[in-house]
Structure 1
Amino acid sequence: MSMGERWNVNANVGASGDGDRESRREEARRLRVDPGLSRSQLMRRFGVSNGTLSEWLRGIEAPAWTRRPTAKDDVRQSALELRRMGQSVPQIAQRLGISKSTAYLWTKGEPLDKTPEEAEERRRRHMEQMRQARWEPHRRRRDADRAACAERLAGWVGELSDREVILIGAVAYWCEGAKEKPWTKSTPGLMFINSDPALILLFLRYVEMLGVDRAELTYRLSIHESADIPAATRWWAGVVGVPAEHFRRATEKTHNPSTVRRNVGDSYRGCLIVYVPKSSRLYWEVEGVMRGIAASGDRWRAAKM
């Protein structure tokens, strides 16, 4: 056989081999789609390597049944949700009990900050978290010291005598109660206003020491109109021990949205105003006690000299 004849034979064999290879490739692509054989099944069927099969199946999506969920799919979804909530990779890793590299691989497609403003806000929150963590041990010690101090001094006060209650009550009233003005012609009665239940109860005890029956007192709230006035009324009624129906109509303060107020929410209950009817003479007594308290300071200084 001449060289030319051998070349023609080899050419025919190559052409036949290429045709067989192409038909096998098409058959593999068809079987991948229907009935949806796996890669391992196709490699065994056609006796080809993984690389060759990848070349044959290029552009064909894997059958749905081969994309079975893994045990970590739920964890991965949780990582994505935490990322969208603004959690960092270390935070996600710690919270879900996975490595930082895994947390990064799962969430790298979700940017932590979509705008420069979000980035600045996240940095601000991070700095605040670091500050809180740094000062938390100090705060715990401080709070423990404060609680111990309060308990120790509360025990030191003990029971107050009637005289002590009258002295303290007069000072409290002179600080927080309504007082006579130079331009008024009549002496006012006692009217005490405060937002602290402890001071309100002290004033009630004080006026009882002055001989006033609690049943004679009247009550009114001074509160912003945006508050839950019925709920605040019930709360204060429980403090002073009278039915809410005994309260006068509340004095409502106009709400100004431009004003930044911190006394808002369920804990805001306004101030309670306590009126003592026909108490002009009692006002004179408060005034006299305060004059005596002030004079005691002069006597104390004189004794020191």
Structure 2
Amino acid sequence: MPEVSYLRPNLHRMTGFDAAEVRRLRTEEQLSVREIRARTGLGRNRIPELLRGVPAPARTRRPRAKDDLRAEAVALRSTGQSVPEIARRLEVSRSTAYLWVRHLPLTRNREEELERRRAHSKVMTDARWAAHRAARDRAQAETHALAARVVGQLDERDLLLLGAAIYWCEGTKSKPWRRDDHVQFVNSDPGLLSLFLRFLEACGVDRAVPTYRVSIHETADPDAAAEWWSTELGVPLERFRRASLKKHNPTTARLNTGDGYRGCLVINVPRSRELYWRIEGMIAELFRSAAHTFVGGCGPSA
């Protein structure tokens, strides 16, 4: 004789109407599985079968710990971020990031993509060569210190020889087809200009004697550049003449721009024919001496 339960109704053989009732309890009354079991007496496994395809009520859904991260991943994807970038930003695995955004195609502007690739390449290169560059910088600093010990204190002879040499490299020179015995020095390096002014002083020419002129592109500020050169080199601002402006060529990719660009400084020494002859004489003797002298090194090795 089959066992009959007297504690609850015999509902394990439910009709189609009974299945519809379970679905109604789910959709209309928004009951959970536990509440439907208590109402109908059905088993734990039977109710999920009858509710297959019926979404659970919102009130019964437990919030997922990563719902906020998922929403953030979608937002990042909409700005053109790749799956690896999203995974790195949110500190999740790439597979998780992919599952969150796989329904969103990645669309990027060509220029933005090139810029992103350049930035990524720079990061990878910097990481790869960081140790090498640090070792190179240390070696460079040690060599600088070793070379600096060779210089010592400059005397008058040193200044005369150095000044004549740098003038012959960067200064205006007389040519057979253009006789011009006039001292004019042009450069953009404050150190070299300062050294040339020391040379002039060793020759008896005070810094207030020459005239100065800024040669600079017309897109820059010549007055600000003149003030900077005056302060940097300790020369009187009233000795500056009107600046020479170079025309701007928009097709040229100039790198000497920005706040650090101050053009070149032109130093003209008035009534300097005899000074120019002295420079010619020193250079001629330097060339003669170098041709007959062998120097066996460039300083101490330790």
2:72 is aligned to: 77
TM-superposed deviation, 1:158: 0.9
AA aligned to 2:214 is: L
2:217 is aligned to: 224
The structure whose residues are more often helix, as a share, is 1
2:10 is aligned to: none
Task: Kindly report which structure 2 residues correspond to 1:208-223, keeping only aligned pairs within 5 A, or say none.
Answer: 208-223=201-216
- Whole-Å separation in 1 of the counterparts to 2:288 and 2:131: 47
TM-superposed deviation, 1:234: 3.4
1:102 is aligned to: 96
Distance 1:51 1:162, change over 3 A: farther
Distance 1:141 1:87, change over 3 A: farther
TM-superposed deviation, 1:191: 1.3
- Whole-Å separation in 2 of the counterparts to 1:43 and 1:104: 32
- Whole-Å separation in 2 of the counterparts to 1:170 and 1:229: 29
TM-score by length of 2: 0.73
Aligned pairs, how many?
A: 275
TM-superposed deviation, 1:69: 8.6
Of 211-220 and 71-80, more deviation after overlay is shown by 71-80
AA aligned to 2:159 is: V
AA aligned to 2:127 is: A
AA aligned to 2:91 is: G
Instruction: Report SS of the residue matched to 1:216.
Output: coil
AA aligned to 1:176 is: E
1:3 is aligned to: none
AA aligned to 1:29 is: T
Instruction: Report SS of the residue matched to 2:53.
Output: helix
Is 1:86–1:122's contact at 8 Å kept on the other side of the alignment? no
Task: Kindly report which structure 2 residues correspond to 1:267-286, keeping only aligned pairs within 5 A, or say none.
Answer: 267-286=260-279
- Whole-Å separation in 1 of the counterparts to 2:236 and 2:35: 89
Task: Kindly report which structure 2 residues correspond to 1:1-305, keeping only aligned pairs within 5 A, or say none.
Answer: 18-19=16-17, 22=20, 25-26=23-24, 28-31=26-29, 41-47=31-37, 49-50=47-48, 52-53=50-51, 55-57=53-55, 62=58, 73=68, 77=72, 81=76, 84=79, 86=81, 89=84, 92-109=86-103, 111=105, 114=108, 126=120, 129-188=123-182, 190-242=183-235, 246-300=239-293
Across the aligned residues of Structure 1 and Structure 2, the Cα RMSD in angstroms comes to 3.8
2:6 is aligned to: none
User: Deviations 1:185-228 (Å, cap 9, x if unpaired)?
Assistant: 4522x211111111011011110111111112222211222234
Is 1:83–1:107's contact at 8 Å kept on the other side of the alignment? no
AA aligned to 1:165 is: L
**Quick one: percent identity of the two aligned structures?**
41
Is 2:213–2:265's contact at 8 Å kept on the other side of the alignment? yes
Instruction: Report SS of the residue matched to 2:214.
Output: strand
- Whole-Å separation in 1 of the counterparts to 2:184 and 2:62: 78
Is 1:221–1:251's contact at 8 Å kept on the other side of the alignment? yes
Instruction: Report SS of the residue matched to 1:193.
Output: strand
- Whole-Å separation in 2 of the counterparts to 1:66 and 1:247: 81
Instruction: Report SS of the residue matched to 2:208.
Output: helix
- Whole-Å separation in 2 of the counterparts to 1:124 and 1:256: 28
Q: Which runs of 5+ in 1 are unaligned?
A: 1-15, 33-40
Q: Which runs of 5+ in 2 are unaligned?
A: 1-13, 38-43, 295-302
AA aligned to 1:270 is: G
